[in-house]
Amino acid sequence: MSCIAEENAIIVISIQENNTLLAHTNVENVSARGEIEPLVGREWKVANQAGEEVAYSGLCWTPGSVVDRSPDLTINERGIWQALN
């Protein structure tokens, strides 16, 4: 299971080995088994121009991927989990 603790005003998520990721997780420094997908979306950058800006959030493990090692993760401003180190 995962454990959530607060450290220095950031949330740290610890996932035990062989457990699943519960959110899209940046592939950098996270060893897992599962699907990888690019996260791409459209954003408002200027009023009245809905979806004209393409936002690329990187390559991510999909939710449900199984971690090979116990990573410590944090949540970035887009809600994507990423390795703390």
Q: Provide, rounded to the nearest whole percent, the portion of the chain with pLDDT above 90.
A: 61
- Tell me the domain boundaries of the chain: 2-83
> Residue 73: which of 28, 33, 36, 18 has the closest Cα?
28
- In angstroms, the CA 78 to CA 64 distance is 19
Q: What is the pTM of this model?
A: 0.79
- In angstroms, the CA 58 to CA 38 distance is 6
Res. 54: pLDDT tops 80: yes
18-52 per-position pLDDT tens digit: 999 999 999 999 999 999 999 998 887 777 777 77
